[in-house]
Amino acid sequence: MSAHQKNIPAVGRVINEKIFAPWIDLLGRELVTNIIRKRCEDFRAEVDGSNSYAFFLNDIESSLKKYSGPSLKEVINATGVVVHTNLGRSPLGEELLQELKAMSNYNNLEFDLETGKRGNRQDHLKKELCLLTGAEDAIVVNNNAAALVLILGTFAKNREVVVSRGELIEIGDSFRIPDIMETGGARLVEVGSTNKTKLNDYQQAIGCETAILFKAHTSNFVISGFTESVCAKDMAELARSNKIISVYDLGSGMLTKVEGSKIDGPTVKEAIDQGVDLVTFSGDKLLGGPQSGVIVGKKELIAQLSKHPLMRALRPGKLTIYALIIAVRNYFSEKSLYSKNLVFKMVALGECELFERAQLLKNELKIVDIDAEIEKSDNYVGGGAAPELKLLGVAVKLLVKNPSKLYRDLMRGEFGTPIVGLLKEGKLFLELRTIPENKIEMIARTVSEVEKKVE
């Protein structure tokens, strides 16, 4: 045993150091003792004994800081990607969170206030979703992948699902349509080619074991050039004529066409109008709500989905349902959508407004002795939505000695809210499209504090 290892005192002595008294008040003696014991074991196991006892105490305090608050926290998104999957996808906004206060007490989640009998949590969402999309019925689960697994497990277990090769998408984090098919117990039948699939390809693949004709919107990539695909209307008609089910995974979750929006693409209402039996989509992309998966479509099919044993495991909680109701209701008018749905609000920002915000940030940085330049850039909707849409962005480039270190330190949030910027070719940019206007002054102050530490 090295001299350093011998100098590490017993846990009982370490915990009585004055530095740990506030932590015992905050976290409790048992948790603090366990953390100290673990760090003592780690230090005794080290071969290098060069670190001092003071370093040892500071290391323990750093470990304790990780428990001082939740690891999930607010982040300033300065990347210019609006629906950022790694940063929680679409932000909910202050107004939606304020309305969630209604869920702070008991509620009628599964209680019918008219009859006094047990109700169904899914009923709270059906009215709004059906009104906006024209669907007969609707059901909500944890996320869009769960929606697909539920559909496959209900209608296609040990049976065939026909999919175009050009639509065997990967939805993120290595989850792929073939994997979801396998999880749902279905047998995948690929038709057509990567760039061309015709209606006849579907027709020839239909057999006695076919349960579903499946279409996935390629919302996170584009195939262009010598291409052909089957529209939702033709696929739905073919499925109906063969007495099988048509399913359309729309993913991005744009409910209806929005006047003046830069975002284009198929909507849930269009898919229902074209006769698709079941349409699935995410609640936390263009819908602007919480993580969830929504299924809308034929009443008799939704009824079967709701009775599947898996539904118990996939059903959403009260907070998800209430937040989703609010997000869906924002689609009732274009005014509320552009003012309350932060995705549409950020995408709608024009060049002049972005330059004004950039100039404001540059001025605030100048006040705290940080030099910066304003540059045009490219922004994106992100999150598997509108892959062809490139938005004109405006960014502030920080003129500092060590941009990479500043990027990491801002991200760690030691001086306040973590700020995730964009590091490109060794230069650090803060994109204004995704930065709330009321955070600009705070960002400049934080950059200054972190930069002083870097120096």
Same domain, 81 and 101: no
Count: domains in the chain: 3
Residue 175: strand pairing partners: 172
Give one DSSP letter per residue of 137-174, joined into a string: EEEEESSHHHHHHHHHHHH-TTSEEEEEGGG--EEETT
Q: Which uninterrupted H or E stretch holds 351?
A: helix 351-367
Same domain, 359 and 304: no
User: Average pLDDT of 198-207?
Assistant: 93
> Would 340 be classed as within a structural domain?
no
Distance CA 29, CA 15 (A): 9
H runs (alpha helix) in 258-350? 268-273, 299-307, 311-314, 318-329, 334-340, 342-347
CB contact at 8 A, 397 and 413: no
Q: What is the pLDDT of residues 111-162, one digit of tens each?
A: 999 999 999 999 999 999 999 999 999 999 999 999 999 999 999 999 999 9
User: Average pLDDT of 241-250?
Assistant: 96
Distance CA 108, CA 212 (A): 36
Same domain, 273 and 369: no
- When the pLDDT of each residue in the chain is averaged and rounded to a whole number, the result is 89
User: Average pLDDT of 235-253?
Assistant: 94
pLDDT at 251 over 90: no
- What is the number of H-type helices and E-type strands within the chain? 20, 15
Q: In this structure, what CATH number is given to the domain that contains residue 210?
A: 3.40.640.10
Phi-psi region of 116 (alpha: psi -120 to 50; beta: other; left: phi over 0): left
Same domain, 221 and 294: yes
Distance CA 370, CA 396 (A): 11
**Sign of CA pseudo-dihedral 337, 288, 264, 199:** negative
User: Average pLDDT of 42-61?
Assistant: 72
Torsion angle (degrees, nearest 10) of CA 406, 412, 415, 421 = 50
Same domain, 182 and 292: yes
> Would 168 be classed as within a structural domain?
yes
Same domain, 408 and 267: no
Q: What is the pLDDT of residue 1?
A: 45
Same domain, 80 and 123: no
User: Average pLDDT of 320-330?
Assistant: 95
> Would 189 be classed as within a structural domain?
yes
> Would 341 be classed as within a structural domain?
no
Q: Which of 334, 360, 395 lies at the terminal end of a domain, its last residue? A: 334
Q: What is the pLDDT of residues 9-25, one digit of tens each?
A: 788 888 888 888 999 99
Same domain, 282 and 369: no
Q: What is the pLDDT of residue 185?
A: 87
Burial class (CB in 10 A: 0-12, 13-18, 19+), 113: exposed
Give one DSSP letter per residue of 66-104, joined into a string: TTSS-S----EE-SSBSSBGGGTBS---HHHHHHGGGGG
| Range in 262-271, 336-345, 351-360, 419-428 the model is least confident about | 262-271
Same domain, 110 and 209: yes
Same domain, 55 and 143: no
Nearest partner of 143 among 42, 289, 22, 257, judged by Cα: 289
> Would 339 be classed as within a structural domain?
no
Q: Give 179's contacts (C-beta < 8 A, 6+ positions apart).
A: none
Confidence category of residue 177, pLDDT binned at 50, 70, 90: confident
CA distances from 416 to 93, 137, 401, 434, 450 (A): 20, 45, 22, 18, 10
> Would 48 be classed as within a structural domain?
yes
Q: Which of 282, 310, 334 lies at the terminal end of a domain, its last residue? A: 334
User: Average pLDDT of 257-279?
Assistant: 91
Q: In this structure, what CATH number is given to the domain that contains residue 389?
A: 3.90.1150.180
User: Average pLDDT of 207-227?
Assistant: 79
Same domain, 80 and 99: no
User: Average pLDDT of 195-208?
Assistant: 92
pTM of the model: 0.88
- Residue 382, token pair as written in the block: 């992100």
> Would 70 be classed as within a structural domain?
no
Same domain, 399 and 309: no
| Range in 82-91, 117-126, 175-184 the model is least confident about | 175-184
> Would 120 be classed as within a structural domain?
yes
Burial class (CB in 10 A: 0-12, 13-18, 19+), 177: buried
405 alpha-carbon distance from chain centroid: 27
**Residue range of the domain that includes 261:** 94-334
